[in-house]
Amino acid sequence: MLDKRKKIILHAIVDDYISTAEPIGSRTIARKYDLGVSPATIRNEMADLELLGYLEQLHTSSGRIPSGKGYRFYVDSLLAPTQISDKEVTLVKNWYQAKARRLDEVFQETARLLSRMTRNISLVLAPQFGQCNFKYLQFMPFDETRAILLIVTDTGMVENKVIDLPQGMRVEDLQRLANMMNQRLSGLSLEQIESSILREIKEDLLAEAKVVDDAMKVIRQALRGEKQDRVYLGGTTQLLNQPEFRNLEKVRTLLDMLEEEPLLCDLLQQRQQETDSGVVVTIGEENSYRGIQDCSMVQATYRIGGQVVGSVAVLGPTRMDYGKIMSIMDYVHTHLEEMLKDYKA
């Protein structure tokens, strides 16, 4: 375990590096933070901290910067929980009031808001359709050969798809089928439905008619098709403000990654289950994706009606203001849940 003075010095170094992005020398620490000891003493401590793996040196005559382990210790053991300021609270409230009317706007604007407050890239995983509970499905007329299929969940999400009518089948026939299914499936999660229950129903109804089979196919395909999750992005250009991304090659790698929506989904879902405690931080090499191993991610999930359905995250260089970002995330994700209550049946 680190002794008290080492902790203070590590804390000072991380704080300083976060705000200046410059390696820090012993002199600087002695001057800025009044520890009552000389630079030489601090030098000795810093040499120890480097040996222990908390600090790194770019070259012999540069100051030290925190290592991944250093940041981890900082986040876990040194960071005092900070409160979000009143100014920020009102910013959040006004933001939503002014901009978010429709449900999808809420997510888009959450992404914008987060990137603006944290000056980093933000990601918002919209509610995952597959996690919601089925409420009912309905077929509606479109023209002679096609119909519209609606799937409604109890979180208020509605998905629609134009489908081709099976040969010789009318909308009314499909709707009759739908009514039977609605009774049976109501309240189940869409994932459950997709995986097993559809098959059961099909067997039950098999006796009825050949058309049922066709209709099942349609519904099944629709369920699968609509499942793709959406990720809203904010502040991708914030990257370019960070000195660690002066290198164009790095920028490209990251931007390329941000264009891959399925990959982002996966990224956000990986630690989605761990967020009971609130906010989860993944630092540097802890990230499983190569492209962001010199980035950190601060993540929180949100629930609708008790179910975890999506998450929000901030992505930036490991040199990010963890304290501030974590408190913002904590507040925003709670506020978001609050807002989404209105959409829950």
Residue with tokens 């969940």: 153
Give the contact letters, 294-313, x = binds to its own copies (CB under 8 A), - = no: --------------------
148 binds, among its own copies, DNA, none (CB under 5 to 8 A by kind): its own copies
- Please give the size of the binding site for its own copies, defined by CB under 8 A: 33
8 Å CB contact between 302 and 333: yes
Give the whole-angstrom CA distance, residue 175 versus residue 137.
9
Q: Which of the 8 DSSP states describes residue 28? A: H
Shortest Å distance, C-beta 112 to DNA? 35
Strand order in the sheet with 279-283: 231-234, 121-125, 307-317, 295-304, 279-283
Q: Which stretch binds its own copies (CB under 8 A): 92-100, 142-150, 195-203, 270-278?
A: 142-150
Contact between 162 and its own copies per CB under 8 A: yes
Those residues whose C-beta lies under 8 Å from the C-beta of residue 60, and which sit 6 or more positions away, are none
DSSP string, 83-101: PPPHHHHHHHHHHHHHH--
Q: Which stretch binds its own copies (CB under 8 A): 2-10, 32-40, 246-254, 292-300?
A: 246-254
213 binds, among DNA, its own copies, none (CB under 5 to 8 A by kind): none
Q: Which stretch binds its own copies (CB under 8 A): 46-54, 92-100, 133-141, 290-298?
A: 133-141
Closer CB to DNA, 50 or 214, in the complex: 50
| Token couple for 189 | 């999660």
47 binds, among its own copies, DNA, none (CB under 5 to 8 A by kind): DNA
**Residue of the chain from 175, 236, 275, 307 that contacts its own copies (CB under 8 A):** 236
Contact between 256 and its own copies per CB under 8 A: yes
Helix (H) / strand (E) element for 324: namely helix 322-340
337 burial via Cβ count (<10 Å: 0-12, 13-18, 19+)? middle
Closer CB to DNA, 246 or 290, in the complex: 246
* Cα–Cα nearest to 7, from 62, 56, 55: 55
Give the whole-angstrom CA distance, residue 219 versus residue 193.
11
Contact between 259 and its own copies per CB under 8 A: yes
65 to 124, contacts with its own copies by CB under 8 A? 101-103
Report how far apart the first and last C-alpha atoms of the chain are (Å, whole number).
51
Q: Which residues bind DNA (CB under 7 A)?
A: 22-28, 36-41, 43-44, 46-47, 50, 57, 59-64
**Cα-flanking dihedrals φ and ψ of residue 242, to 5°?**
-85, 130
Contact between 142 and its own copies per CB under 8 A: yes
Contact between 39 and its own copies per CB under 8 A: no
Give the whole-angstrom CA distance, residue 294 versus residue 316.
9
| Token couple for 314 | 């901030």
Task: Tell me the residue type at 138.
Answer: Q
183 binds, among its own copies, DNA, none (CB under 5 to 8 A by kind): none
Residues near its own copies, by CB under 8 A = 101-103, 135, 138, 140, 142-143, 146, 148, 150, 152, 156, 158, 160-162, 225-226, 234-237, 240, 246, 248, 251-252, 255-256, 259, 343, 345
